[in-house]
């Protein structure tokens, strides 16, 4: 049998502050054959996500840190090349958690088989995958969004945010407001995605721009950003408002911890509820998510935008560009045919 050479991206060193391409290493490796009960998968598309920045740090969090010198991992969709298991056949398309490489040998019970005729492959890393589920869980379970609510979403032009805005509308929000980091993203939100209002948080204080976009206040805040956005949202909340803490990307590259919102007493005076969540804890919502979001997607009610970078070797740049805000919708890496 001819030996196959694969490529994997490793963590070369732990970033301090903003990561750079120096923190990554591209390595060529020999690809093994699947043993009994295993499959060999060729990855076709992989995801780069903000949580990966946290895994580049040392120390305990809700997922284990990446190891220096070892390949990174994360969501990917691939095709089974050869199988030594009855569970999967060559040609099957699978979703799994070993991205950042072109080939991977997996225990056959580890990946999830997906139907390429149901949706494009990218959808399993986006609308029908982890980011879609995050938007769904955050709004329905964590923020307990009700029809008529005014909903504010930060990081609104990204994968989770752009879906959260649409799910909020489809669930009966009376007004959905988004913030994002460029004029083009603001246009995208209001003209293509269906947000009622949007603003560029780099144009001026979030508090002032939010006041203009939601003069009567908000009921729900879906927080992807933290920091100044969170303080402004607490200030704009109606009594009994709900905040879903999904992410705080404004702080992921901070070398030192940032001070928190200065208006926390409003949590008391307005009787607010703020709750953080990790999507992986909510598998009980997998079926309602597939029913609701899968249904809306097949009815053509969900607009999804992708920023696709070509080539596995460009995955570090795709990750860095996503952290810098150069994606609209979901940032994905298409893995070229290694043959």
Enumerate binding residues for ligand NAP (CB under 6 A).
49-51, 131, 134, 155, 157-161, 180-182, 185, 224-225, 246-247, 249-250, 277-279, 322-323, 325, 327, 331
In the bound state with ligand NAP, the residue whose beta carbon lies nearer, of 122 and 224, is 224
CB of 240 to ligand NAP, least distance (A): 23
In the bound state with ligand NAP, the residue whose beta carbon lies nearer, of 169 and 185, is 185
Extract long-range pairs of 88-91: CB within 8 Å, 24+ residues apart. Answer: 88/39, 88/113
CB of 202 to ligand NAP, least distance (A): 8
> Please, which residues have CB within 8 angstroms of residue 250's CB and are 6 or more apart in sequence?
225, 226, 227, 228, 229, 258
Per the CB < 8 A criterion, the answer to whether 173 and 149 are in contact is: yes
Q: How far apart are CA 210 and CA 217, in angstroms?
A: 9
In the bound state with ligand NAP, the residue whose beta carbon lies nearer, of 189 and 312, is 189
CB of 323 to ligand NAP, least distance (A): 6
In the bound state with ligand NAP, the residue whose beta carbon lies nearer, of 125 and 214, is 125
DSSP state of 330: E
In the bound state with ligand NAP, the residue whose beta carbon lies nearer, of 160 and 293, is 160
CB of 246 to ligand NAP, least distance (A): 5
In the bound state with ligand NAP, the residue whose beta carbon lies nearer, of 114 and 133, is 133
Per the CB < 8 A criterion, the answer to whether 221 and 233 are in contact is: yes
φ, ψ of residue 175 to 5 degrees: the values are: -155, 135
Q: Any idea of the CA torsion for 204, 206, 209, 215, to the nearest 10 degrees?
A: -160
Extract the tokens encoding 112.
Answer: 């999830």
Give the helix/strand (H/E) hosting 133: helix 130-136
CB of 155 to ligand NAP, least distance (A): 4
In the bound state with ligand NAP, the residue whose beta carbon lies nearer, of 88 and 159, is 159
CB of 222 to ligand NAP, least distance (A): 9
Q: How far apart are CA 40 and CA 47, in angstroms?
A: 19
Q: How far apart are CA 37 and CA 215, in angstroms?
A: 60
CB of 153 to ligand NAP, least distance (A): 10
């Amino acid at each position: 049998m001819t030996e196959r050479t694969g490529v994997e991206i490793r963590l070369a060193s732990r970033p301090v502050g903003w990561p750079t391409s120096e923190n990554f290493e591209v390595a060529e490796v020999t690809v093994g054959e699947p043993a009994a009960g295993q499959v060999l998968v060729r990855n076709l598309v992989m995801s780069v996500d903000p949580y990966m920045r946290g895994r580049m740090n040392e120390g305990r969090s809700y997922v284990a840190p990446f190891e220096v010198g070892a390949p990174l991992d994360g969501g990917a969709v691939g095709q089974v090349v050869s199988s030594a298991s009855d569970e999967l056949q060559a040609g099957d398309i699978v979703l799994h958690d070993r991205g950042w490489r072109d080939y991977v040998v997996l225990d056959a019970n580890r990946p999830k088989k997906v139907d390429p005729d149901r949706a494009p492959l990218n959808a399993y890393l986006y609308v029908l995958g982890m980011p879609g589920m995050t938007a769904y869980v955050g709004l329905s379970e964590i923020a307990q969004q009700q029809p008529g609510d005014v909903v504010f979403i930060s990081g609104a032009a990204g994968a989770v945010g752009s879906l959260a805005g649409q799910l909020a509308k489809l669930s009966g929000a009376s007004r959905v407001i988004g913030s994002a980091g460029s004029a083009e993203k603001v246009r995208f939100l209001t003209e293509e995605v269906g947000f009622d209002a949007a603003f560029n948080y780099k144009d001026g204080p979030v508090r002032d721009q939010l006041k203009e976009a939601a003069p009567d206040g908000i009921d729900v805040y879906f927080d992807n950003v933290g920091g100044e956005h969170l303080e402004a949202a607490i200030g704009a909340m109606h009594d009994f408002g709900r905040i879903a803490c999904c992410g705080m990307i404004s702080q992921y590259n901070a070398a030192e911890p940032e001070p928190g919102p200065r208006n926390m007493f409003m949590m008391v005076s307005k009787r607010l509820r703020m709750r953080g969540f990790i999507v992986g804890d909510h598998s009980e919502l997998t079926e309602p998510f597939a029913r609701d979001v899968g249904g809306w997607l097949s009815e053509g009610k969900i607009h999804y935008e992708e920023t696709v970078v070509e080539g596995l070797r460009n995955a570090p740049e795709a990750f860095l560009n996503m952290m810098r805000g150069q994606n609209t919708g979901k940032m994905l890496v298409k893995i070229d045919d290694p043959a």
